[in-house]
Structure 1
Amino acid sequence: MASGTSQPRKNPGTRTYKRIPTTLDANPDIPQPRPDANAYRLDPTAPNPPPTTYTAPDFSHTQPRMRSEKQSIEEKTADKFAAVDELLKTWKFDTIGDFLSILFYNKPRGDPDPRGTTHAHAVAQFLRGRSKIKMCDILPLVYHHKASYPTKKSADSHEKKSMFSTAGPENEINHARPFMSTWAARLVASEARKQVGRATRDDPDRPEEHSRFRASSNGRTNAHVVTWPELLANFSITKIHAKYCLRLPLPMFLTESMAAPSTKGVIFVRKRRPHPMIQVGAIASFLISRNRYANGDLAMALGVWHVACKSHVDVKRVYCRLGSAVSDTTSHNALNAMSEADLVALRAEIAEATERGEREGCLLVDNVQKYCDVYEEGVGRQSQMKVGTAGTWVRLDGCSPGAFHAKPYYDQVAKQERANLETGSLYDSIDWKHIKTIIPLQWVRALVEFEPKLHHLLPEVNIMFRVTLAIRPRPPNKITSCQPLGTNSEHSTETQGMRQAIKDFDNQTGIDSDNPGNLLSWIRGDGASFAAVLNLINYSTPVGTFKNKIGTPEIWHTGATDLNSTSANHHGPASSSDPSSLSKCFNIAGFKRPSNVKSCDYYPTVRNLSLIWTAKVLDCWRLHFDVEDLHEYFQDLAQNDKLPTLIDLIQDAIPLYDRYATQGAIRASLSAAEATHPDRFNKVPVGSPWTAPSNASDRTSPDLDDLDLPGLADIIEPDTPTNPSPPKKSDNAPTAHTETEGFTGDRVLRNSQIFLQDFGWWIEFGHAVPEGDIGRVWEIMKIWIFKFAGSSHQNYVNYLLEVYCMLRYEASKGLSDAILDNWLLKIKDELGHCLPADLHQEHYNKWLEDMIQKHGGEFDNKYYRQTIAPNVHHFLQMKKEVETAFEFKPRGQTHTSPHSRPELQLLLTAFKEEEVHLFRSGRSLGHAAVNQFARGWKRLDAGKLTAFLEKSTALGDFLKEIRRSENPDVDMDSDSSSESGDRSSDIHGDGSSDVETADNSSSIRGVDSPTPSIPSSDITVDANEPEDDGEDLSDAHLSAGSENSEAEDEDGKIEGNGEVDPNEPDDDGIDLSTTHLSTADRENGLEAMEAKNAAAEGEGTDEEEEEESDEEREEPESESDDEEV
């Protein structure tokens, strides 16, 4: 192209349009339709405007522009507005609405489309968002246009109230904004209604989720009846929220917009009332409002939860009306259906195991009782004690095949190997080597928990308890499964009542009581229940209905009984001035003294006695380190980087324990000659000289609350045929303890030593139970056989001896392992959360007894048997599930105790000032605790063990006679003589017998093993110590009408220990070292021992001693043996 010439360019200005004639123009009579946009097309014959020539003034030549000059945005907008204005002047449409109705014409389905191709394509592209300007840009312009909303002076100003209108026809609204809001609101409401309607039905793509639960079925419809696994699995706020977001997106968006708080447009979740939970609750109530069967998300679960919480009926009615929960009737029907489903599954499970010849569960029974007051008495309306029996089926873990076969068990019973049991062999079966190792570790634990500078040793201490010194811990990751059964109104403490109760429970579980086959059934319960089961077995075996039953007493009630025994033995008079007595310690620490020291509230007593025991142990540690204050001592060690290691503390604790908590130490405290003898190993330090109080008021005086304490003559033996009358007050009331003339021992020190020993065993027991180490627990229970024998709780002597003989002589290894491994329950898969079975049953009983108070009726009513009792464990779980679902912090199930540091400091100060743990010759303040272990040894060896064996071997005699009559040619005595060995279970779990001691139990990472043999002569009975109270309270907490009928059960985390030295003469003159001799040797030495015993006791038997008068008891006996070294 030549330079300086210009080329013509098309003028982008106005073009000429010409209407194309149509066939309708030929006939003017035909009504003319609205102008069609297709009729206005570009006229190709119209001439173009003349070209425009541009001249560049800055150049020396003229160059035509190839492009038009760039326009600004304002110029472009002005041109567009001008074009629109020109268009509106020239087009043939009546209104913009007329034009838009043609533009967005939507033909009916099946009709021909009158639109042209360009028209249809352009609209489609616009509605599909393919153009630069989309509908999302147009609608806000229309909605927010100032002309879309009526003004105050407008004739349609009333339409301001039509914004988002929910009533009235939409087409009567003229202004765009009110109409658009109303139309959108109704469109959204319609869609929300559809989504909620669909959500009331189960989602076919997710069959595991249920929107509907039926509480019952009439059998004619295929209804999905609710079950506990589905109800608990379905109840999760997180899961329900996710489900609603998927199936109900629009309602969730709307409710979030209404409920969620926000800051600068950013939504956040509050801690106290999180809006997701509120959304779930609201929408769940919407669903059940639309369909009363749509209760699967929250309504059914919360209805059951209200029953579990024992909500008032008015509360349940209100929440049902709000749509938050189902009705009370529906909840009860659902509970009935779920309990029936559980029992059907249980019966099928037991039947399948029975077909295989196995028993994979046991029955736990306990009495339930509640005194129900009637406020308006009349005919048939009196206050009464409601009594019944509760049962729970406990599934067993780890049972070997054939463990519960009956024939091997009765074969061993017929051999009567238990008749060979002697006091010495019973004593030797206790793992004293383990006891003398584990108890010093408990002393170390008390010090480490007290001193902050030693807290870093706590993990090592726990490892030693759980690993190094463990005997038979419960296998990990094995959770005990329990199924409560329906209650009945039988008196389980009576033999006939227990008989009917067991038959009822067998019927519920599907066990044939009349034809048990070759399978044993394990029945367990508290002391009274065990006694009734034992009587039932003896009456029925071997041909009766209950011939294949075995029983065991439960652990928690055994520990509670020992706790009461320790309390009664060590409290002393209420006004005692003896700092070793519990009464004085209670006064110092500000504790409330129990109104009945023989039957105390469990948890307060555990806390108080544990604190006193800890204070005594810490005072012994203070004396060992020879310091005034333990905190200051360890503070100095920490500053100098000389803190002791755990091994150092254990090495110090072993002699400290031997000095203050063994039978040898207890015996030495009775005589200054022995306590201060220069050849005595590990002597107690000597304190300041003791000066007896010059004023009688300074000594302990008899307290009015203690004047009615009975003596040993009032002990209730277990075979007493009738209920004994309460002990009568003696005319000569017991006075404060007085020592014999010339007493040189230290009674205060001895009392404290006995308490450290006795409650130390309880401490070890209480610590081993939650850890799940049944081996450690069983060692303490064997010690308690002797301790109970020396106390007033004579029934528990027989209970524990019965279990001991069964496990040692009669049960096979498989049966013993099954009992020991399942004696403790593990409800949570966490360390330290094992508990006794009877305590677990007491938790159930508490709920049942509270329900009988609220609901009324009897324990055998359908409401309790079918609705409440079989679902108790689920109620407890349901309450925890609700707490978890709503993100509540776990709430403690017991009363919290205040910090005990002030009380501990007061006790430590008192013990230091009174020199309680220093030997002060002649000190005695009117309180004398009983050495129950030594007294128990004496009673067992003097005939109580023999009497038990004579009575308990009657079953073996009966079986032997039956077999002799069936096989007259077979010598039934040959089996017993040929096999009289120990058949006890491997209590250690490593192949060693419970009589033998595992070598590793006392070898603790460098600590020298203590001498395992403990001379039996250290087991001493103080001839001048008072008799115990004599009242048998083994099951006093279970008596009808007792205020503490629930026995205040729980597993307190406490520990204890004890030990005995069997080689020193006791102060009653009986040399117990002969217990290790053969039977013949012992018989040859009996005459000499009896003569020596007669000199000390006046040849009185154990029964004669119990019949002594109060005057004879108060008369001191000779302590000449105590003065011997």
Structure 2
Amino acid sequence: MGDIDTEKSLQAALGDINDPRLSASSSNAKAIDEVLKCIQKNDWTLGHFLLHLFAYPAQNDPRNTATRSTMVSHFLGGRLNVKPEEIVELMYSSKYSAPLIPRNSKNRSASEVEHRDETIMARWRLRQWAIEKVEKVIEKEAEAVSSKEGGLHLSNKDASWTSMHNFSLANILAVIEQKGPTFLRLLIAAAKPASERPKPCEIGDNGAGPSYAIHFSKPAPSGKGKNRRDPLMIFAIWLFAHTAPHGVYAVLNRLGLSVSYTTVLKLLRSLSHSAKGVIRTKARTRAFLVIYDNINRMARAWDPDLGQKDHIYNGTAATFIELEDCNPERAFDTEPLRNAREQEQRKGLDWKLLYQRVKWDQVNEIFALHSLAMLVEATPSLVDHQAFIQLQFRTRTAVRQMRNGRKTTLHPLETTNFNEGNTAENAKVLDDLLLNQLGMPKEEVDRLLVIVGGDQSTVEKLRTLKKFLASCPHGYARYGWVLPLIQLWHMGWADLERVLNTHWGNAQVDDPSSFGSANILLGRKVKDVKRPDYYPAQHLVFDTLKADILDCWRIHLRVDDLDDHFHKNPVEIEELLGLARDLCARYLSAAAYDQFCKRRAIPGDQVLADAILRMRDSMLHYEFQCAVAEGDIGRVMNIMSVWTYTFTGSGKNKYSNELLELTCNFEFEYSEDLKNAILDNWLCNLSGIEGCWFPMDLLQEKNIKQLKKMSQKRNTPFGGAFFKAIIAVNIRAFLEAITTMKTSVRLVRTGASHRRTAKTAAAKELTRNMAEQGLHKFRAGRQLGRVAQDDFEMGYLRFQKTSRILDFIERTIRDAGAIHADGDEAVVNAGDIALNPAIPTVVPNMVINGSLIVPDEEDLAEEDEEDESEIREDEERFAQEYLSSACSAGARSESSDSE
């Protein structure tokens, strides 16, 4: 305590130094000296004297003299004008009770003075003593207040609606004032500054103390900016993120738990204004990309008898993302791209170059590592090899990894009422984003390329827009500066659908090589439909793949128990890796598939061949997800080179065309700087943690999900002033507020890695069934009536034997926006429909210790239960109406097509 605090304490205890009780006569000083000398004569210290004085002996003890008893009882009984607390305060505030502050002198500086240990001095010890006493008082009061007799418990037999309706905070606080006054006083001290706290009244002063029961019966005092409400503001933002009604703010504001609704709106407007300024400043550097997608919802007509109809609100949500590790002036220069297209360099594409882009050595090595990682993950005796496998993924098999520790910086933009599903309105979307929100002049926008990302439907609309406006004489209005870039999450979803559809099998036949059979065996609810439920479908594919791989390991090593085998027979990691390569050659290669297929003179095993094909396709998808999570865009590109064939072979022509377009771009048209800028910024990572990368369209889906949730409480369009300025710009802050509040009250799961619930019983049943049916053992002539199509081989034949590549080149040279032929299938994207049960919650996959961790559908369902239940019925009706209108619009004209 400083000198000022000491002086205040003295004044509080004794008033002014001229207190008449403190006589300045010399006789008093002499008397004090005589008493102290008498104490010294008895070989006592002052402490010993006070100890013996107040260590009160028993009544019949001969040391208990009349004089001593009288004087001590009068002092401690409060019958003197000098009170005990004044003496304690004088001891606490004395300059001798704490170390003196050292000062500079002629002989030495203050820093050279040896500091005394304050913990052995009176002030420190008195403070600790007081805290311990208060702690015991609080404990006693808490027991009294919380006991059944305390007055705050309502038993079931005494409960009635009358007691519920008569609930009063004044009554509750009256109980606390009576049985927990010390506890209440400490709460008041924590909540209000000293200048506004009522002073505790003396006992006996009519018993009138500060009553909070009376306080709650009076109107709320006006704010003065001294109510320590920063945590209250955070709590209010958390309420806003959960779309709490206005009345909740009013009640919690009266309780002192939240600021008012008006106050939080002022804060959000201020944050939005600041965010817009930051975005415009960042846009001047040109190191950014924009990603957007459509957002829609239904406003139900609650009284259709009066002519009201359900109304569909359509709009667009966008995000501004800062680019890292690129030189925008060189990367986004329009000349190299324009020259390459004028020279028609893409004519160099043929089926041989397309095949050479697939690095099969790398694919095979990655397959071996994944197979080994699955073995190590399932075998406790091999757990020491996890570090080696993880190191292999990050070094020897790494192709082009994102910079370690990099965190993606993003800024949500305002939503608009423009329908991104309509080609013409994409121009309005771009004008609003670049000119209005980013504040860029048209001449500056047209000077360099701008990456605009989205799903397949979005980039197709952008190409169509550029096609229609290519003849415009004005630079900006041609939209030649737009560089459409397809994002990867929806593409991965399309491949998941392909894998599931190719290997689903016949529902009437128990075919262990089909996903349909595994789905029934495990009791899953996955369906073979367009856009299957994303996470349940991914779990089915990956769980089956891991069971396949473990069964292949048992057969390859000729053992029944893998853990017991490796426990008794330790194997070096390099030898294990060699075994993994052999296993992949036997079960995950095209040669293995051909070997077991039926030939004219040789009876094959079609079930085993189909199982091998299923494992290969599943492993390709598994590698894509792992490469994305690890931020290795080089490995991702290699899998996309394989997908060029599998999408073509399975009839997914639009994604096949998109991948052909990317091949032409990266092989013939993009400059090295532009390729580097795209590759180094195709994925995002919000935490900077390794293994936590994910596609940007998944990020956009997460934003859209929260926007749709918050839009349900307000019957306003997405382009309304309130929604776009208050909600849209701050949407990431709302998501973070939800997480922050859960973390602060310890509701977030330990580790927060959404690790999947162990389902060992189901996994054992799957592996038992495979072993029982001998799925991975050759059985000549085994055939269950199904032959799975090899999508890669079918795509290869279409590229080699048909004019598909030449047609694509001629079509795109004639018209750069016409990458799709008239007969290509339409794509209905997840974000184009309000209700999409496939993405109830958007959570990225992660890689931990070399293993892919997929969010558990049960955890996601639990998290989504509250969010989705209130809007599901409206959105189901809307989905049907929206698809119906989209089909009719597509029949009328291409420009109004809303896929």
TM-based fold match above 0.5: yes
Aligned to 1:953: 813
- Give runs of aligned pairs for residues 441-840 of structure 1, distance below 5 A: 441-506=369-434, 507-513=436-442, 515-541=444-470, 543=475, 544-594=477-527, 596-627=528-559, 629-631=560-562, 634-639=563-568, 642-672=569-599, 744-840=603-699
Deviations 1:109-162 (A, max 9, x none): 9xx999775158679999xxx995999999x9999736876xxxxxxxxxxxxx
Per the TM alignment, residue 589 of structure 1 is displaced from its structure 2 partner at its CA by 2.1
How has the CA–CA distance of structure 1 residues 182 and 649 changed in structure 2, closer, same or farther, with 3 Å as cutoff? closer
Question: Is 2:704 the counterpart of 1:845?
Answer: yes
TM-score between the two structures when normalised by the length of structure 2:
0.70
Per the TM alignment, residue 895 of structure 1 is displaced from its structure 2 partner at its CA by 7.6
Aligned to 2:213: none
Question: Is 2:223 the counterpart of 1:315?
Answer: no
How has the CA–CA distance of structure 1 residues 892 and 311 changed in structure 2, closer, same or farther, with 3 Å as cutoff? farther
Per the TM alignment, residue 545 of structure 1 is displaced from its structure 2 partner at its CA by 4.4
Per the TM alignment, residue 425 of structure 1 is displaced from its structure 2 partner at its CA by 0.5
Alignment-mate amino acid for residue 425 of structure 2: G
2:830 to 1020, 1032, 1037: 1037
C-alpha contact 1:883 1:890 (8 A) present in aligned 2: no
Give the distance between the partners of 1:860 and 1:645, measured in 2 at CA. 62
- Give runs of aligned pairs for residues 345-494 of structure 1, distance below 5 A: 345-351=278-284, 353=285, 359-379=286-306, 381-400=308-327, 402-494=330-422
C-alpha contact 1:366 1:492 (8 A) present in aligned 2: yes
Per the TM alignment, residue 757 of structure 1 is displaced from its structure 2 partner at its CA by 1.2
Give the distance between the partners of 1:383 and 1:671, measured in 2 at CA. 58
2:803 to 934, 937, 943: 943
Alignment-mate amino acid for residue 469 of structure 2: S
Aligned length: 705
Alignment-mate amino acid for residue 434 of structure 1: Q
Alignment-mate amino acid for residue 785 of structure 1: T
C-alpha contact 1:787 1:932 (8 A) present in aligned 2: yes
How has the CA–CA distance of structure 1 residues 666 and 253 changed in structure 2, closer, same or farther, with 3 Å as cutoff? same
Give the distance between the partners of 2:657 and 2:186, measured in 1 at CA. 62
SS at match of 1:483: strand
How has the CA–CA distance of structure 1 residues 397 and 118 changed in structure 2, closer, same or farther, with 3 Å as cutoff? same
- Give runs of aligned pairs for residues 42-441 of structure 1, distance below 5 A: 118=26, 145=73, 176=79, 257=135, 261=139, 283-284=190-191, 291-294=223-226, 295=228, 297-351=230-284, 353=285, 359-379=286-306, 381-400=308-327, 402-441=330-369
Alignment-mate amino acid for residue 335 of structure 1: L
C-alpha contact 1:285 1:322 (8 A) present in aligned 2: no
How has the CA–CA distance of structure 1 residues 277 and 116 changed in structure 2, closer, same or farther, with 3 Å as cutoff? closer
Per the TM alignment, residue 655 of structure 1 is displaced from its structure 2 partner at its CA by 2.8
Give the distance between the partners of 1:180 and 1:290, measured in 2 at CA. 39
Per the TM alignment, residue 333 of structure 1 is displaced from its structure 2 partner at its CA by 1.6
C-alpha contact 1:603 1:1048 (8 A) present in aligned 2: no
Give the distance between the partners of 1:951 and 1:879, measured in 2 at CA. 49
Question: Is 2:775 the counterpart of 1:916?
Answer: yes
C-alpha contact 1:1038 1:1046 (8 A) present in aligned 2: no
Give the distance between the partners of 2:361 and 2:681, measured in 1 at CA. 25
Aligned to 1:737: none
SS at match of 1:671: coil
Q: Which structure has the larger Rg?
A: 1
Alignment-mate amino acid for residue 945 of structure 1: I
Per the TM alignment, residue 360 of structure 1 is displaced from its structure 2 partner at its CA by 0.9
Give the distance between the partners of 1:582 and 1:339, measured in 2 at CA. 49
SS at match of 2:316: strand
Give the distance between the partners of 1:601 and 1:415, measured in 2 at CA. 45
Deviations 1:652-674 (A, max 9, x none): 2223212222223223332357x
Give the distance between the partners of 1:113 and 1:613, measured in 2 at CA. 91
| Higher relative helix content | 2
C-alpha contact 1:530 1:552 (8 A) present in aligned 2: yes
C-alpha contact 1:769 1:1051 (8 A) present in aligned 2: no
TM-score between the two structures when normalised by the length of structure 1:
0.57
Give the distance between the partners of 1:908 and 1:488, measured in 2 at CA. 51
Aligned to 2:174: none
Per the TM alignment, residue 573 of structure 1 is displaced from its structure 2 partner at its CA by 2.7
How has the CA–CA distance of structure 1 residues 597 and 370 changed in structure 2, closer, same or farther, with 3 Å as cutoff? same
Give the distance between the partners of 1:386 and 1:378, measured in 2 at CA. 21
Deviations 1:928-967 (A, max 9, x none): 2221111112223312222222222235699xxxxxxxxx
Per the TM alignment, residue 470 of structure 1 is displaced from its structure 2 partner at its CA by 0.6
- Percent identity between matched residues is 24
Give the distance between the partners of 1:363 and 1:255, measured in 2 at CA. 62
How has the CA–CA distance of structure 1 residues 108 and 860 changed in structure 2, closer, same or farther, with 3 Å as cutoff? same
Deviations 1:992-1018 (A, max 9, x none): xxxxxxxxxxxxxxxxxxxxxxxxxxx
How has the CA–CA distance of structure 1 residues 624 and 143 changed in structure 2, closer, same or farther, with 3 Å as cutoff? farther
Per the TM alignment, residue 845 of structure 1 is displaced from its structure 2 partner at its CA by 1.1
SS at match of 2:230: coil
C-alpha contact 2:358 2:638 (8 A) present in aligned 1: yes
Alignment-mate amino acid for residue 377 of structure 1: P
How has the CA–CA distance of structure 1 residues 135 and 323 changed in structure 2, closer, same or farther, with 3 Å as cutoff? farther
Give the distance between the partners of 2:412 and 2:260, measured in 1 at CA. 25
Aligned to 2:890: none
Alignment-mate amino acid for residue 574 of structure 1: A
Give the distance between the partners of 1:663 and 1:598, measured in 2 at CA. 27
Alignment-mate amino acid for residue 307 of structure 1: F
Between 1:455-464 and 1:798-807, the stretch displaced more is 798-807
Alignment-mate amino acid for residue 648 of structure 1: E
Per the TM alignment, residue 785 of structure 1 is displaced from its structure 2 partner at its CA by 1.0
How has the CA–CA distance of structure 1 residues 437 and 812 changed in structure 2, closer, same or farther, with 3 Å as cutoff? same
Aligned to 1:990: none
Deviations 1:684-720 (A, max 9, x none): xxxxxxxxxxxxxxxxxxxxxxxxxxxxxxxxxxxxx
Alignment-mate amino acid for residue 603 of structure 1: Y
Give the distance between the partners of 1:504 and 1:572, measured in 2 at CA. 48
Give the distance between the partners of 1:257 and 1:494, measured in 2 at CA. 68
How has the CA–CA distance of structure 1 residues 579 and 535 changed in structure 2, closer, same or farther, with 3 Å as cutoff? same
C-alpha contact 2:531 2:838 (8 A) present in aligned 1: no
How has the CA–CA distance of structure 1 residues 784 and 254 changed in structure 2, closer, same or farther, with 3 Å as cutoff? same
Per the TM alignment, residue 896 of structure 1 is displaced from its structure 2 partner at its CA by 6.9
Deviations 1:845-879 (A, max 9, x none): 11111111233321112222111111111222223
Per the TM alignment, residue 257 of structure 1 is displaced from its structure 2 partner at its CA by 4.9
Aligned to 2:151: none
Give the distance between the partners of 1:310 and 1:125, measured in 2 at CA. 74
Give the distance between the partners of 2:745 and 2:281, measured in 1 at CA. 36
Give the distance between the partners of 2:294 and 2:776, measured in 1 at CA. 44
SS at match of 1:402: helix
Aligned to 1:1051: 844
How has the CA–CA distance of structure 1 residues 361 and 1041 changed in structure 2, closer, same or farther, with 3 Å as cutoff? closer
Give the distance between the partners of 1:761 and 1:817, measured in 2 at CA. 25
SS at match of 2:335: helix
Per the TM alignment, residue 383 of structure 1 is displaced from its structure 2 partner at its CA by 3.1
C-alpha contact 1:576 1:583 (8 A) present in aligned 2: no
Give the distance between the partners of 1:597 and 1:142, measured in 2 at CA. 96
